[in-house]
């Protein structure tokens, strides 16, 4: 994909589109941009005609593609998609796996007693415990689309599948609760925005799945989980034993200067890490390069020479929080990365249905 601008505009079909306020994950694959919001249960496809704007939005509801446990219940709500990637003819996506605490804003009306009571309420039920891969194929019109089942480029049968889950847990969180009291288990019962367990990054290779945690940040160290995901059963994904003691995960601790992981991208043998505040804060947002992450075989403390600071991304006061990053495919030099934002500022919005992304060069590509 060759873009003609550093600030491409994304045009949604609906006027006053709410989705533009809550973009949380992005993926450029060939000439198509895929987006997700943390307040929806769908994935959105956009294409560009001019290299300056993405439009022609088409929505793919996830309930048509995979099983969502909260569909039809009182907890039927967002998947809270926080990461996407492409590997082996499939789009992969992951939900936050986090507990929610009820919001109380400074301008909320009502008695302090009632608002304090509201602030005490937490909820773990819903569709958030989702890790899935969905066939991404090219239809007869040459457009990319997501399907429950289809035929791959080499004639292989493709099937959408996900990690077994229910309203409150899945096999990943169950394994963490059982096997990891020293680091992560105790954070599973803490709301994500309180430095509790909160997934906000996904990167997939042929053999490994990397999951970045916005929280917890453990004594200043951010956490990335490394998984080996089994795909031989067409009906569901599984976790292979990959860590010490037969654990189905490895743990990596990154020195991101007190920040959490907000997104991950694979580049060659490296991982690009979007780092940002773990709490509900405005604060520094940076992209780091974790050198050699893909071929590493051990659990690690990642610091110093292994982490290269690529760039700093501006943020606003309660606005312009970088959430989704994706490499722009193509032969451009230097390598370019596209960034989309949650809570975009007024300056970033275009009319009633548009919002601008940013394109940055990566220095050490």
pLDDT at 316: 87
Give the pLDDT of residue 330.
64
Span 73-88, mean pLDDT?
90
Quote the pLDDT of residue 250. 98
* pLDDT per residue as tens digits for the range 186-223: 999 999 999 999 999 999 999 999 999 999 999 999 99
pLDDT band, residue 177 (cuts 50/70/90): very high
Q: What is the pLDDT of residue 2?
A: 84
Q: What is the pTM of this model?
A: 0.96
Q: What is the DSSP string of 264-333?
A: EEEETTEEEEEEE-SSS----EEEEEETTTTT--S-EEE-GGGEEEEEEE---SS--EEEEEEEPPSS-S
pLDDT of residue 74: 79
**Token code pair at residue 51:** 């290299």
Judged against a pLDDT cut of 80, whether residue 30 lies above it is answered with yes
- Write the pLDDT tens digit of every residue in 41-77: 999 999 999 999 999 999 999 999 999 999 888 787 7
pLDDT at 365 exceeding the cut of 60: no
**Residues near 20 by beta carbon (within 8 Å), at least 6 away in sequence:** 10, 12, 344, 349, 353, 354, 355
- Per-residue b/e over 301-326, b at no fewer than 16 CB within 10 Å? ebeeebbeebeebebeeeebbbbbbb
If you average pLDDT over every residue of the chain, what do you get?
Answer: 93
pLDDT score for 288: 97
pLDDT of residue 281: 83
Does position 329 have pLDDT exceeding 80, yes or no?
no
Reading the block at residue 216, the tokens are: 């917890």
**Per-residue pLDDT reduced to its tens digit, 103-141:** 898 889 889 999 999 999 998 888 999 999 999 999 988
Q: 210 or 316, which is more confident?
A: 210
> What Cα–Cα distance (Å) separates residue 62 from each residue in 44, 148, 222, 246?
10, 9, 30, 32
Q: Is 186 exposed, middle or buried (0-12, 13-18, 19+ CB in 10 A)?
A: middle
Answer yes or no: is pLDDT of 364 > 80: no
Q: How far is CA 94 from CA 9, 105, 150, 157, 163, in A?
A: 25, 28, 21, 23, 10
Residue whose entry in the numeric block shows the structure tokens 């939005």: 57
* CATH class assigned to 9-361: mainly beta
How is residue 325 written in tokens?
């990053």
Q: pLDDT band for position 164 (50/70/90)?
A: very high
Per-residue pLDDT tens over the stretch 242-259: 999 999 999 999 999 999
Q: Are 253 and 212 in contact (CB under 8 A)?
A: no
Q: Is the pLDDT of residue 279 over 90?
A: no
Residue 135 DSSP code:
E
Say yes or no to pLDDT of 333 above 90. no
Residues 94-105 pLDDT 10s: 999 999 999 898
**Domain extents in the chain:** 9-361
Segment 278-306 shows an average pLDDT of 92
Identify the pLDDT of residue 280. 82
For position 331, what pLDDT does the model report?
A: 62
Query: pLDDT class for 82, splitting at 50, 70, 90?
Result: very high
């Amino acid at each position: 994909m060759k873009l003609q601008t550093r600030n491409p505009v994304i045009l949604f079909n609906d006027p006053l589109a709410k989705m533009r306020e809550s973009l949380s994950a992005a993926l450029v694959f060939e000439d198509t941009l895929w987006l997700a919001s943390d307040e929806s249960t769908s994935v959105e496809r956009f294409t560009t005609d001019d290299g300056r704007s993405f439009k022609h939005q088409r929505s793919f509801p996830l309930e048509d593609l995979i099983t969502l446990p909260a569909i039809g219940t009182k907890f039927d709500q967002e998947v809270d998609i926080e990461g996407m990637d492409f590997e082996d003819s499939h789009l992969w996506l992951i939900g936050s796996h986090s507990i929610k605490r009820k919001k109380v804003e400074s301008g909320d009306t009502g008695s302090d007693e009632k608002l304090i009571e509201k602030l005490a309420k937490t909820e773990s039920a819903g569709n958030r415990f989702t890790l899935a891969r969905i066939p991404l194929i090219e239809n007869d019109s040459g457009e990319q689309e997501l399907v429950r089942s289809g035929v791959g480029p080499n004639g292989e049968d493709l099937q959408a599948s996900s990690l077994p889950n229910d309203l409150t847990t899945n096999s990943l969180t169950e394994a963490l609760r059982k096997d990891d009291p020293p680091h992560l288990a105790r954070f599973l019962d803490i709301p994500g925005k309180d430095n509790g367990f909160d997934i906000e990054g996904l990167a997939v290779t042929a053999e490994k799945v990397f999951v970045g945690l916005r929280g917890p940040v453990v004594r200043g160290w951010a956490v990335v989980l490394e998984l080996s995901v089994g795909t031989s059963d067409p009906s569901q994904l599984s976790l292979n034993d990959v860590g010490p003691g037969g654990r189905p995960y490895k743990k990596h601790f990154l020195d991101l200067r007190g920040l959490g992981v907000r997104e991950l991208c694979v580049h060659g043998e490296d991982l690009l890490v979007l780092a940002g505040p773990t709490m509900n804060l405005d604060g520094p947002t940076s992209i780091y390069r974790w050198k050699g992450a893909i071929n590493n075989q051990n659990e690690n403390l990642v610091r110093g020479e292994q982490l290269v600071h690529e760039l700093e991304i501006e943020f606003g006061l309660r606005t312009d929080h970088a959430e989704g990053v994706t490499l722009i495919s193509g032969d451009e030099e230097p390598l370019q990365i596209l960034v989309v934002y949650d809570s975009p500022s007024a300056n970033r919005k275009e009319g009633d249905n548009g919002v601008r992304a940013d394109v940055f060069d990566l220095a050490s590509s």
